[in-house]
Amino acid sequence: MQWTPGGSDEDIEDRRGESGGGGRPAFGGFGGMHIGIGGMLLIGVLSLIFHQNLFTMFFGSGGSPAPAPSVYTDNGSRSRADSQEKPEYEFVKFVLNDVQTTWDKVLPASAGIPYRHAKLVLYRDEYPSACGEAQTATGPFYCPGDQKVYLDLSFFQELAQRFGAPGQFAQAYVIAHEIGHHVQDLLGTERKVRRLQQQEPGARNQLSVRVELQADCYAGVWGHSTEERNIVNEADVSQGLAAAAAVGDDRLTRGRVSPESFTHGTSAQRTSWFKRGLQSGQISACDTFAE
Q: Decide if 6 is inside a domain.
A: no
pLDDT over threshold 70, residue 38: no
What was the pLDDT predicted at 31?
A: 45
pLDDT over threshold 80, residue 19: no
Q: In which domain, by residue range, is 215 found? A: 12-282
Q: 81 or 116, which is more confident?
A: 116
pLDDT over threshold 80, residue 274: yes
Average pLDDT over residues 7-24: 77
How far from chain centre, in Å, is Cα 228? 24
Please state the pTM of the whole predicted model.
0.76
CA-based R_g, the chain, Å: 18
**How far apart (Å, rounded) are the C-alpha atoms in residues 99 and 72?**
31
Domain count, the chain: 1
- Do residues 13 and 119 touch, judged by C-beta distance below 8 A? yes
pLDDT over threshold 90, residue 155: no
10 to each of 96, 100, 181, 207, 209, how far by Cα in Å? 10, 12, 20, 34, 32
Q: Decide if 287 is inside a domain.
A: no
What was the pLDDT predicted at 264?
A: 53
Q: 46 or 77, which is more confident?
A: 77
Comparing C-alpha atoms, which of 115, 134, 113 is closest to residue 123? Answer: 134
Q: How confident is the model at residue 98 (pLDDT cuts 50, 70, 90)?
A: very high
Judged by average pLDDT, the poorest of 48-62, 73-87, 274-288 is: 48-62
Q: Decide if 5 is inside a domain.
A: no
Average pLDDT over residues 184-212: 88
Q: Decide if 7 is inside a domain.
A: no
Q: 279 or 254, which is more confident?
A: 279
Q: Decide if 288 is inside a domain.
A: no
CB atoms within 10 A of CB 134: 29
**How far apart (Å, rounded) are the C-alpha atoms in residues 16 and 280?**
37
Q: 81 or 189, which is more confident?
A: 189
Q: Decide if 1 is inside a domain.
A: no
- Do residues 129 and 143 touch, judged by C-beta distance below 8 A? yes
Q: Decide if 2 is inside a domain.
A: no
Q: Decide if 23 is inside a domain.
A: yes
